[in-house]
Amino acid sequence: MSAALPASGREWHLVARPHGWPKAEDFALREAPVTAPGEGRVLVRNLYFSVDPYMRGRMNDVKSYTPPFKLDHPMDGGAVGEVIASNAEGFAVGDHVLHGLGWREYAEVPAERAVKVDESLAPLSAYLGVLGMTGLTAYAGLFEVASFKEGDAVFVSGAAGAVGSQVGQMARIKGASRVIGSAGSDEKVRLLVEEYGFDAAFNYHDGPVVEQLRAAAPDGIDVYFDNVGGEHLEAAISSLNLHGRVTVCGMIAQYNATEPPPGPRNLALVIGKRLRIQGMLVNDHAALQPQFVQEVAGWLASGELKYRETFVEGIENGFDAFLGLLRGENTGKMIVSLA
């Protein structure tokens, strides 16, 4: 244990369930007392916390794979911090840990839910992104769910984001015949081609996705990694080759929709092309973690795999960071820095 703990810390609460786009009034930054850790627990000063698109779903009061955020309670999510008091065997003051109590300055974490991370192997923020949940999503979604094989032509949407940027580069490293990405700005499109080695990329604001994808992949695609849904999914179904595979990872284009969005109008193509469209949840793929970390750490060390992070400074800007993520203000992983 250590002395001189702070008396209180700030944390973000959901105070009303957003209808459509989240508004500042739906959230409140509140002060809460900080207490010494109970038996088997550690007190962590958060240095970084993650804002992720799936959190939008948790703001709705609907049954889903993760429970909704409770109103007037702190929100949670991935975070990395420093242990400032320990009442748990195996954890010492100064250790860095990854845990699930983000959106707050101080977190009292049960030891079994804290994983030690090593700053000498990678910057701490990387454990929220490229070496963390979004990296594993890309790895599992491409190699396990889409059954990627050498020679496949791969299209990924949300391609400059945390998951998408890794999907495209992993496909390239493993011998894709062609990697195509879509993103929401010309600057992101340039990044995909010039820095990440995509063969082609386009800005989905520039015209119909179906036309831009056909031009970028004249011989069709074998794998579509869907982060977006809607028009992108319909276009991908049109461009998929025989026995093509789709990993449905996310549908961010509809997370703020107030009416049920229309489905792909060309779904019947699934029959003749014998397509496989499969949803995924990263939590189902925890067994891949050691292999993922080993392989990705190697690619990072060799410089084959690159990543970006967008930092928003200060807990008071947590809501803005989340909204910015939904608006595409991030390139790579969106992270709130309290460091």
Q: Is 163 in the site for ligand NAP (CB under 6 A)?
A: yes
Choices 21-29, 71-79, 157-165, 260-268; region in contact with ligand NAP by CB under 6 A: 157-165
Choose the stretch contacting ligand NAP; rule: CB under 6 A; options: 23-31, 36-44, 155-163, 209-217. Answer: 155-163
Nearest alpha-carbon partner for 92 in 102, 83, 79: 83
In the complex, the smallest distance separating the C-beta of residue 263 from ligand NAP, rounded to whole angstroms, is 16
Task: Give the list of residues 6+ apart from residue 237 with CB closer than 8 angstroms, or none.
Answer: 224, 246, 264, 266, 267, 269, 270, 275
How many residues line the site for ligand NAP (CB under 6 A)?
Answer: 29
Non-local (6+) Cβ contacts of 114 within 8 A are 42, 44, 91, 97, 98, 99
Residue among 9 and 158 whose Cβ is closer to ligand NAP: 158
Distance CA 153, CA 232 (A): 16
Q: What are the helix (H) ranges across the chain?
A: 54-58, 133-139, 162-173, 186-194, 209-216, 230-239, 269-273, 289-302, 318-327
Q: How far apart are CA 74 and CA 109, in angstroms?
A: 14
* Residue number, 86 or 134, with CB nearest to ligand NAP: 134
Interacting residue with ligand NAP among 11, 52, 234, 309 (CB under 6 A): 52
Given a contact cutoff of 8 angstroms between Cβ atoms, the answer to whether 82 and 94 are in contact is: yes
The stretch among 46-54, 71-79, 105-113, 208-216 that binds ligand NAP (CB under 6 A) is 46-54
Out of 22, 37, 53, 264, the residue judged to bind ligand NAP by CB under 6 A = 53
* CB atoms inside a 10 Å sphere around CB 287: 10
Q: Does 185 engage in binding with ligand NAP (CB under 6 A)?
A: yes
Q: What's the distance, CA 246 to chain centroid?
A: 18
- Minimum distance, C-beta of residue 142 to ligand NAP, in the bound complex (Å): 12
- Distance in Å, CB of 7 to ligand NAP, minimum: 34
Q: Tell me the window of 21-29, 154-162, 189-197, 208-216 that interacts with ligand NAP (CB under 6 A).
A: 154-162
The one among 9, 22, 77, 164 contacting ligand NAP by CB under 6 A: 164
**Which residue type is seen at 25?**
E
Q: Please, which of residues 286-325 interact with ligand NAP by CB under 6 A? A: 325
Question: Which residues lie below 8 Å from residue 313, measured CB to CB, with a gap of 6+?
Answer: 336, 337
Q: Which stretch binds ligand NAP (CB under 6 A): 70-78, 111-119, 120-128, 156-164?
A: 156-164
What span, in angstroms and rounded, lies between the C-alpha atoms of 337 and 332?
Answer: 15
CB 148 within 8 A of CB 140: no
Dist CA 7 CA 217 (whole Å): 58
Question: Which range of residues in 23-31, 208-216, 275-283, 289-297 is near ligand NAP by CB under 6 A?
Answer: 275-283
**Shortest Å, Cβ 30 to ligand NAP:** 26
Residues that bind ligand NAP (CB under 6 A): 52-54, 134, 137, 158, 160-164, 183-185, 188, 227-228, 249-250, 252-253, 280-282, 325-326, 328, 330, 334
